[in-house]
Structure 1
């Protein structure tokens, strides 16, 4: 359900099916056979009564799809309040979906059933673009996923490895600061969203591939491919909700777009990998590390690591590391602008710690306790994936006293839990101080605060992402003061959400940077 927008569903259905003359008779016949089959199945199973979680009323064929709206995390919280505050069962087309909306149920799910709910649904876009499950984030649970995750955690995303990438990260952050300084000369505003997407993409590209692959016109080749992938991840797929209607993805054009983007990504990564193989200069980006692991044939960690596996892991880094990271930072800057007293307090801390130095290092950031609270509070209010990445049950389980069938998609509404008034004081307000002198963290053990997920399928790139956030935001707060252009008041800043793979700010966000003079 990554980017499900109900208007997309009906627009595609109406345009491509109801008015497609060659498909009317075929669709009618298929629908008749499907309804007959469902009727027979219902008769055969009418004697079985399972204690399923509560469900809202649903419509024929589409089930509860019509109730999701354009912002599913908000619609699902409203439905949960009415039908199932802890657990709620929906039917998204032909797909049963469990919505978990309480920290207590997340705790029970992870503590008692983590393996049983560690699978992923086989959605169309991730399968097509991420090498049919040869990645980490969307791969089905099993031995292949265990080895791929182990490689990612141990070899690519450990605390030690993230620290080794500091030079690359610092160089890209410095380049971002220089670009903003250039805008200051003409007192030009900057698009915060575009600025943060660019720096996030460049950091991931440098760490993963060794360079940014900037074109002559200033565009990043990898950035363009990443944007294409994110659009497709957010597109409506008939096959995801109506497996028997997967052929309609061909009619709508989605299958063709997926094939084109997948081919371009494949050719690009093949070229990058071959260049790394041919270049004997000692480097330490993700490609080099994965090739070294691949050559360790006698060690279990590298056993069976194919070129497809390497490409799947690399593609994962861009899907998980670019859009999600930049989205978190954009919401954070928006909240700081809307809360000038928080902005002032955070800037005072950053500038006090850094002093008159020309750069901000890890030791400096480790002393910025309030900045870390600001990042936590932004993640609480604005998790980039409000429903996390969906899981799937591999077997039937008992959860909260209810029967959960096998092959049920599981959504954790982290956004709703992180705004639960029974868990948080004044939950709709931006109050970083709530994390001062608090042990609550986002590492997956505090189930009321899990923006990166929990259990076996928690995000392995959490340390990498947080490190990027801290570095970029600290530099933005140190080097510049920030003002809204055109006399716009902070309280009037539009915070409307838009939903695709992530939930991002709907309207472009421009700010006027003013250079900070750190001289005495």
Structure 2
């Protein structure tokens, strides 16, 4: 059948069904309320048509959903719903409701929505931490990551890797800054963070060409728009066959690159550290992992590739994006940068000073704990410019649940608007201003717990049982690289070029016009 005719027929049938059912409002019984025959309404939202969902997707993109959600929240309240095809998406903008759902009733909303059939291919049928249902598999994979790679006793093993990547980054920034021209910052930050995560994942110091090849395979698949397959995938996979084949080829390329790196560790786990490799890597923990609930089998190559890809995704773009936003704010606010540099020099010593050791060496990781203003700068950067404006979708774990007086069906996608919460004027004074001092003693953010355990005023890492497993390593990397970049250079505006804070949604929320800055070495 002609594709155009097939689309027209599908639209006609959907509209015909919608004509008969449009006026019917769905409602769901929730928990004990079901026994009392009491029904709760679904969260309000724009009119939806069966099969197709909200017709507004014909003129809007899912990638640019935030402006639409602001309109809907202003019209309907803090909990609203949208439909994409047959899938129900619920969005929460209220931080108190977020705390109730994610912390106070964490187990009730700790599940993930059922993935689309197409998404199962890219998650090895849910065998990764991000998409695994709340249960034994998720606990096993997360516990393995946290205990064997991200625990402080393990993180210290990667200190030489961080130092090596830092030297690489600073040398490239120094070369870029020669001649006094502007430096394009994001590309350097992204490569440095990715090189560090590749080393932590595979345990090998790869050359730049190999790192770039892995990065290209990772990023191509990550940014490839698969949203079209959210609408009736059994039809769209056929209508957009070439697009689907391209995605599958990207997935195959990733596997062809990753599997040899995994195999290189299979026989050498626990080997002494050498010049080109580290004694411990995330892959090592996957090679020794078995799945008790699946007959005690080992992970397949596909599953290990997916878990490695998840590891690289989670720590690269989020960290490099946060770093760029923080450095952009330091360029815009020289007073903040000067105060931060003074704190660093007080702890470490000034570059070019009388202490020759202080002149050359980096800011050490153990010294970061003595820099409260540095931590305040990082926290304010995460509050003002959260790299992700939504946490990964949650779902009711066992039965239809209630939140804010509305039904949350078990298979609905429950989303929390992280970016909006961090800019809530009820929680923060002058929320659009960059004020690190608010996180120092006496400020309104001094007692903020970024895990959200007490209350949620900001949650750049999520909250509750599904909080980002890498919260500690992320804070370490942000503080470590910010401190050393500020100690190494004076970051200033390019003449005639102001810093533009306009946002753009990609995998993370990045600067629409990437930061270009003038970097002046703090000593010759």
Normalising by structure 1, report the TM-score.
0.86
2:281 paired residue number = 285
2:246 paired residue number = 257
2:388 paired residue number = 385
Q: Give the 3 Å change call, closer, same or farther, for CA 347–338 of structure 1 in structure 2.
A: same
Out of 370, 374, 388, the residue aligned to residue 373 of structure 2 is: 370
1:435 paired residue number = 439
Q: Distance in 1 between the 2:369 and 2:419 partners?
A: 27
Q: Give the 3 Å change call, closer, same or farther, for CA 362–275 of structure 1 in structure 2.
A: same
1:211 paired residue number = 204
Q: In 2, are the aligned partners of 1:249 and 1:255 still within 8 Å (CA)? A: no
Equivalent residue runs for 1:189-200 within 5 Å:
189-200=182-193
Q: Give the 3 Å change call, closer, same or farther, for CA 71–33 of structure 1 in structure 2.
A: closer
> Does residue 273 in structure 1 map to residue 259 in structure 2?
no
Q: Distance in 1 between the 2:372 and 2:26 partners?
A: 59
Q: Give the 3 Å change call, closer, same or farther, for CA 102–181 of structure 1 in structure 2.
A: same
C-alpha deviations, 1:109-155, integer Å up to 9, x for none? Answer: 12225334421341467533332322111233332222111111111
Q: In 1, are the aligned partners of 2:108 and 2:401 still within 8 Å (CA)? A: no
> Does residue 178 in structure 1 map to residue 171 in structure 2?
yes
Q: Give the 3 Å change call, closer, same or farther, for CA 242–420 of structure 1 in structure 2.
A: farther
Out of 157, 164, 169, the residue aligned to residue 150 of structure 2 is: 157
Shift of 1:68: 6.4
Out of 318, 337, 345, the residue aligned to residue 343 of structure 1 is: 337
Give the 3-state SS of the residue equivalent to 1:485 in structure 2. coil
Q: Distance in 1 between the 2:195 and 2:211 partners?
A: 11
Q: Distance in 2 between the 1:134 and 1:374 partners?
A: 36
Out of 456, 467, 473, the residue aligned to residue 476 of structure 2 is: 467
2:8 paired residue number = 28
Q: In 1, are the aligned partners of 2:116 and 2:230 still within 8 Å (CA)? A: yes
2:352 paired residue number = none
Out of 137, 144, 151, the residue aligned to residue 144 of structure 1 is: 137
Shift of 1:105: 0.5
Out of 237, 240, 251, the residue aligned to residue 230 of structure 2 is: 240
C-alpha deviations, 1:369-415, integer Å up to 9, x for none? Answer: 10111111111111111011122334311111211222111110011
C-alpha RMSD of the superposition: 2.8
Q: Distance in 2 between the 1:300 and 1:160 partners?
A: 29
Q: In 1, are the aligned partners of 2:186 and 2:515 still within 8 Å (CA)? A: yes
2:111 paired residue number = 118
Q: Give the 3 Å change call, closer, same or farther, for CA 340–78 of structure 1 in structure 2.
A: farther
2:518 paired residue number = 512
Give the 3-state SS of the residue equivalent to 2:424 in structure 1. coil
Out of 81, 86, 101, the residue aligned to residue 89 of structure 1 is: 81
Q: In 2, are the aligned partners of 1:162 and 1:463 still within 8 Å (CA)? A: no
Out of 309, 318, 328, the residue aligned to residue 312 of structure 2 is: 318
Query: Quick check: 218-227 or 153-162, which moved more?
Result: 218-227
Q: In 2, are the aligned partners of 1:128 and 1:258 still within 8 Å (CA)? A: no
Q: In 2, are the aligned partners of 1:478 and 1:516 still within 8 Å (CA)? A: yes
Q: Distance in 1 between the 2:282 and 2:18 partners?
A: 49
Q: In 2, are the aligned partners of 1:213 and 1:222 still within 8 Å (CA)? A: no
Shift of 1:223: 1.5
2:464 paired residue number = 455
1:3 paired residue number = none
Q: Which runs of 5+ in 2 are unaligned?
A: 29-38, 273-278, 350-354
> Does residue 222 in structure 1 map to residue 202 in structure 2?
no
Q: In 1, are the aligned partners of 2:451 and 2:459 still within 8 Å (CA)? A: yes
Q: Distance in 1 between the 2:240 and 2:139 partners?
A: 33
Q: Give the 3 Å change call, closer, same or farther, for CA 485–271 of structure 1 in structure 2.
A: same
Q: Distance in 2 between the 1:210 and 1:113 partners?
A: 35
Shift of 1:498: 0.8
Q: Distance in 1 between the 2:295 and 2:466 partners?
A: 21
Shift of 1:265: 1.4
Q: Give the 3 Å change call, closer, same or farther, for CA 397–46 of structure 1 in structure 2.
A: closer
Give the 3-state SS of the residue equivalent to 1:422 in structure 2. coil
Out of 308, 324, 329, the residue aligned to residue 330 of structure 1 is: 324
Q: Give the 3 Å change call, closer, same or farther, for CA 341–199 of structure 1 in structure 2.
A: same
Shift of 1:156: 1.6
Out of 496, 502, 507, the residue aligned to residue 496 of structure 1 is: 502
Q: Which runs of 5+ in 1 are unaligned?
A: 1-20
Normalising by structure 2, report the TM-score.
0.85
Out of 476, 479, 498, the residue aligned to residue 485 of structure 2 is: 476
2:44 paired residue number = 54
